[in-house]
Chain A
């Protein structure tokens, strides 16, 4: 009996050790570091809340970066959810070769976040890139995609939007679970397609919308690859998302304490927004067997 219990511990130990070493330790460690001045070479010096005070009171880069991050999240999450749901709705029709389309639409999600695609993006949207070439062919002026701060953030957003596949697949599974008898009943009562969508489909898939919303929110706040490779955070820090600032603080300036403090602020923001999403969910998310009308 005793031997078996020990064996059980041995089986879970890879996970437990991994969790302790690679998650719990950095988690606690970075929190403590956020109260220090630490450059990796000299021992960390305890400076209390000075990092946080500097961040909120004097660091213009932080506020700029935070506002860009919120703007980015505010643009990508709703757009991506809407787009994923729209495509899922189309792919839910019984068409010939539908599986081919489903696969095709999922491919960008596999490729999308990769370095290679980010580099490709940089060439596509460059001044003399293919996007401006197409615009020129239809008689439009070229757009300075990376030259103008607003366009640059939009270009980065597009890269994210393009990776709608995983959200779409989850939506698709939810759509297929909506009983067709409900639609038939609605048709008999004379409902339009739009009414059927807003009154039947959407309420029934709210748990999945909620799930996708939270996942996308958390991921969008952590976006790094796209802006790092494509714009380097520029121009005028218009694409300088918080994760880039964290990276630069820690690994360019070797200001580990400040980098940790920034990471904890980002963590706090994500946590608070997720909690808000959970708290409000009981007003707009409906589960099967729900007694509310």
Chain B
């Protein structure tokens, strides 16, 4: 028994010690994912915030992207999530189906300046009338080309779909069978279909109001036919080619064919320009261009979305302090300069203006971002990037690429199974 009593007193001592420590200044927790640059800059901004607000201490919890969703989900399930969290946009409906999963940010208008944010953009973080997430930045898909393979083939960088399509044959004859004018990795074949049909119809795949599939089967079939044609004419590598290059897990910038300039370009989020530019080195380049247009297009059909949000925990004891920190990070010139474009080009007007005017953003990124912001883009449903929908896009496009299913079957699967997933997710 002696052992137990010793143990008990040790435990009691520990509890007592924490109880005493908790009486100090307010401590709030903030979490985010990212790379080294983002970690460093955010930590610096937090220190500057603490210096300005001596009554508040901020405990930073930061990780890489891998596993962050699992981590946040476990925390929220156990009620131990941080006060302020960086949340990926497609996660919002996972955590807050009815709009009550996070604190309503509109309550903190006195400390959080929402006037710096576009109304339509705030709508993307709103569920059932409650502002669950404040959009940090906006991103969109942009065509980016490596001029070197095009020069070698004696071509200009394409400006229209027709120019891109005719480049396929030239690449094959002048450069060799391993050269493609455009790459499609992972979900990109699906995004190519989405871009084509959106230009054709002016509609998003999923209706943002009803969260039901908006395209007809015939419209989708046209898009899938377009994709198969791109494959057949050797404009893009097919899935077999992509897989053989090293499993499905390689990202574009890790591919030998990309680094060595055998792939002429890609259709990518503007915010990742730097990542894909870096491995090309001194002798090559990566140039974002105005979106390729279809003849008779109803819209530029850009894929534009908020990247990530900041949300405040509904269980937080210090919501107001968290909102104060959030406002500092988004709208205070001091923080804006420290953070730079570590989370993309900010959605906050004061931040974007300051960064671009002071030349704190790479020219190419600013140019790509301009394309994204000025083009026509129908609103996306928050369920467009739902994890189960993404898996459906990926597996269906893969089966089509291997010709295991016909175009019509692929359209049936996408619309029928997609409809089932949406019905279940929005229930």
Contact = CB atoms under 8 A, between A and B. Distances in A.
A215 to B, nearest CB: 28
A235 B246 contact: no
Nearest to A61: B395
Contact of A230 (B247, B388, B391, B399): B247
A102 interface: no
A254 B71 CA distance: 12
Interface string A147-180: 1110010000000000000000000000000000
Given A41-B76, A235-B243, 20 more contacts: A39-B94, A41-B95, A41-B101, A122-B247, A126-B246, A126-B247, A126-B256, A129-B246, A144-B243, A146-B243, A146-B246, A147-B243, A149-B402, A232-B247, A234-B248, A235-B240, A235-B398, A236-B399, A251-B70, A253-B387
Nearest to B77: A40
Interface in A108-131: 122-123, 126-129
B10 interface: no
B65 interface: no
A141 B427 CA distance: 52
Given A235-B398, A235-B402, A253-B387, A41 B73 contact: yes
Nearest to B74: A40
A232 B248 contact: yes
A237 B395 contact: yes
B249 A122 contact: yes
B77 A231 contact: no
A234 B94 contact: no
B240 A252 contact: no
A107 to B, nearest CB: 25
B396 to A, nearest CB: 11
Chain A interface size, under 10 / 10 to 19 / 20 to 34 / 35 or more: 20 to 34
23 contacts: A6-B1, A40-B74, A40-B76, A41-B77, A41-B94, A41-B95, A41-B101, A122-B246, A122-B249, A127-B245, A129-B246, A146-B246, A147-B240, A148-B240, A149-B402, A229-B249, A232-B248, A235-B239, A236-B398, A253-B387, A253-B391, A254-B73, A254-B94
A126 B241 CA distance: 10
A232 B388 CA distance: 16
Interface of A is mostly: loop
A51 B174 CA distance: 55
Interface of B is mostly: helix
Interface string B245-260: 1111100000010000
Contacts of B248: 146, 231-232, 234-235
B22 interface: no
Interface in B72-105: 73-74, 76-77, 94-95, 97, 101
A40 B256 contact: no
A122 B94 CA distance: 33
A220 B116 CA distance: 56
Interface residues of B, number: 30
A231 B244 CA distance: 10
Contact of A234 (B3, B101, B243): B243
B40 interface: no
Contacts of A126: 244-247, 256
Highest count of chain A CB atoms <10 Å: which of B77, B97, B241, B247: B247
Contacts of B240: 144, 147-148, 235
B404 interface: yes
Contacts of A47: none
Nearest to B394: A234
A231 B399 contact: no
A57 interface: no
Contacts of B246: 122-123, 126-127, 129, 146
B427 to A, nearest CB: 10
Nearest to A240: B395
B255 to A, nearest CB: 10
A242 B315 CA distance: 37
Nearest to B7: A10
Interface in B378-427: 387-388, 391, 395, 398-399, 402, 404
Contacts of B73: 40-41, 254
A148 B101 CA distance: 44
Interface string A238-253: 0000000000100111
